[in-house]
Amino acid sequence: MIREVHRDFSTWNDLPWKFEAGTPAIIEAVGLGAAVEYLSVLGMEHVHAHEQALTRYALERLANVPDLTIYGPSAERRGGVVSFTLGEIHAHDLATLLDREGVAVRAGHHCAQPLMERYGLAATARASFYVYTTSAEIDALAEALERSRDVFAF
């Protein structure tokens, strides 16, 4: 990373070496290898089919929650992610309420601030589904969203 270090000054090495400080990401490489092996055993076609089925179910189930707005395309054109808002509840407040119900979602602009600006949103909540997600967990999300409406009495 450095060429020379003295008490009063340092000089940096040439590119790309000046950005290669520290220990290589050995643990991360081992973890990636384990993840690739796990997914290979499952079969990516099965992973995709499971995500698509869960996403379809989630979009159908969440459509029944009053005042819920879902953002994004149809299930066939998305991965295992559903972004939403609930009435006038700020996404961070909604995430806190859902957390109290044992339902974990992400809230914020999700590194998509231009998209949030386009839709006039401060933030959305986002539920993500993967190979370990069940339809019962999506039901728990929908039920917790309905109870969240009661907290704000609308």
pLDDT by residue for the chain (154 residues), tens digit each?
Answer: 888 888 898 999 999 888 877 778 899 999 999 999 999 999 999 999 999 999 999 999 999 999 999 999 998 899 999 999 999 999 999 999 999 999 999 999 999 999 999 999 999 999 999 999 999 999 999 999 999 998 887 6
Instruction: For residue 62, give the nearest of 145, 152, 120, 149 by alpha carbon.
Output: 145
How would you list the strands of the sheet with 81-86, edge to edge?
68-71, 81-86, 124-128, 106-108
Q: Which range marks the domain in which residue 108 is found? A: 43-151
Identified catalytic residue from 5, 21, 27, 111 = 111
Q: What is the pTM of this model?
A: 0.80
> Is 97 found in the same domain as 129?
yes
> Is 14 found in the same domain as 69?
no
> Is 51 found in the same domain as 7?
no
> Is 49 found in the same domain as 36?
no
Active site residue 105: no
> Is 116 found in the same domain as 91?
yes
Question: What's the domain count of the chain?
Answer: 2
